[in-house]
Amino acid sequence: MSLGGYNSQEVVAEIKKLLSADTRGPAVQKVLAMSSSISNLGAILWHAPGVALGLLQDIVTVLPIYEAGLMTKPNVDRITATLYLFTIIASDPLSQSHLLASHIPATLFPFLSVASETTEETVVLTVAALSFFISLANPDPASFAEFAFGANLMSFLVTLIEQHSGAVLQLACLLTRTVATSTNGPALMMESEGMLESLTKAIDMATARAVLPSTKQAVAEADLASVAAMWHGMLAGSTGALKKTMIDHPPRSLLQADANQRADEGTKRLIRAIIRGDVSGI
């Protein structure tokens, strides 16, 4: 395992600070700064007792303020950083399946709700939440698709596609594409009453509305065109568009990501040391 110039005691000290509400804010920023240098950081954070619960506590505490539209910039910055720490956990194959099976993803759904008044703060948090779900969807889109339909995530995506533009629209379409091109996505879509029609309508509305000349908007339109073609093909009973999409964007399984899935011995030792609370031998 690579610590990228950090020693194990320093890493563990910052992770332990995530356990206390008094030290969690600065520690979140510090651990985020470490993330590009430390391999399997997501697994380390997930297996460190109390860390995920502490991060979730911060999010749950702020949800009533968020839903009331009273978020301050410091609150937004802190919760955005917390969401990106969860994204790191979601990106690590060693912690991803555990996270997907937990109640944490559904707890983040409020950040996907379209507020009565969209502000810069709500958009930032929605983008961070969508980034989390995109990371959670790979490299096992089939398992994520089961979750997306079972937990009603797709309804949130429909609303985001209907009412947003820019980065939110782009990411919502990307996540929809990931679900749609999973091995079980089309079957789940057909089994979900009214979902195919609702999503097709939302994509058509967004396509008609998408006129902003920004790069992000252009990417969003490209995603919309591809997904829309697939949905219309399915509605028309044609599998041609669906097959083309599946060929262009084949699903990746955990078996194909086997090289990334296995932790090296250094990561395992550090995880065990964190659980024991003793890193003197690392």
Tokens of 238: 């044609």
CA–CA separation, 161 vs 200, rounded Å?
10
Lowest-confidence range among 30-39, 64-73, 79-88, 266-275? 266-275
Total residue length of the chain? 282
241 vs 156, residue with greater confidence: 156
Q: Does domain 1-139+261-282 have CATH number 3.10.129.10?
A: no
CA–CA separation, 231 vs 203, rounded Å?
9
Task: Give pairs for 185-194: CB < 8 Å, separation 24+.
Answer: 185/141, 185/142, 185/145, 186/234, 186/242, 188/145, 188/146, 188/148, 188/149, 189/149, 189/234, 190/234, 191/149, 192/149, 192/154
Contact 223/177 with Cβ under 8 angstroms?
yes
pLDDT attached to residue 9:
85
Would you say residue 241 has pLDDT above 50? Answer: no
Kindly report, residue by residue over 39-55, the tens digit of the pLDDT.
Answer: 889 999 999 999 999 99
Question: Which residues, 6+ apart, have CB-to-CB distance to 94 below 8 Å?
Answer: 40, 42, 43, 46, 261, 263, 267
pLDDT attached to residue 274:
57
74 vs 258, residue with greater confidence: 74
235 vs 21, residue with greater confidence: 21
Tokens of 247: 């060929």
pLDDT attached to residue 35:
87
212 vs 242, residue with greater confidence: 212
pLDDT attached to residue 220:
54
Residue type at 93 in one-letter notation: P
Kindly report, residue by residue over 65-89, the tens digit of the pLDDT.
Answer: 988 888 888 999 999 999 999 999 9
